[in-house]
Amino acid sequence: MEFQGLLRPHLPYAGAGPLAAGDDLAALGLDSMAVVQLLADIEDGFGVQLPDEILDEATFATVGSLWAAVSVLVGSGADAV
């Protein structure tokens, strides 16, 4: 599963270009309802369970902060955003 491909449908204000690690998820349209669906998609797409202790505002602040949390669980490098 490709992270940006999974993330993009939840970001209604994202342009067509690639997402950058510093892109603000709220500014791209990620709201609380979208977070719930995104969590389910991440867990299904990557076959991981996101622990409650990482489900905070900081994790969902930017593309990079979310990838950093997910990549630890899937065992990849955080530079793959």
Quick one: pLDDT at residue 1?
A: 60
Show the beta-strand stretches assigned E in 2-72: none
Compute CA 6 distance to the chain's CA centroid, rounded to the nearest angstrom: 8
pLDDT in tens, the chain (81 residues): 699 999 999 999 999 999 999 999 999 999 999 999 999 999 999 999 999 999 999 999 999 999 999 999 988 544 455
What is the distance between the alpha carbons of residues 25 and 23, in angstroms, rounded to a whole number? 6
Give the type of residue at 59: T
- pLDDT given for residue 78 in this prediction: 44
CATH code of the domain covering residue 60: 1.10.1200.10
In a domain, 57, yes or no: yes
Residue 18, in any domain of the structure:
no
Q: How many structural domains is the chain composed of?
A: 1
Domain that holds residue 60: 3-12+23-80
Q: What is the pLDDT of residue 77?
A: 46
**What's the CA gap between 43 and 22, in Å, rounded?**
23
Instruction: Return the pLDDT at 75.
Output: 84
| Position 17 in a domain | no
- Please indicate, yes or no, if residue 54 is contained in any of the structural domains: yes
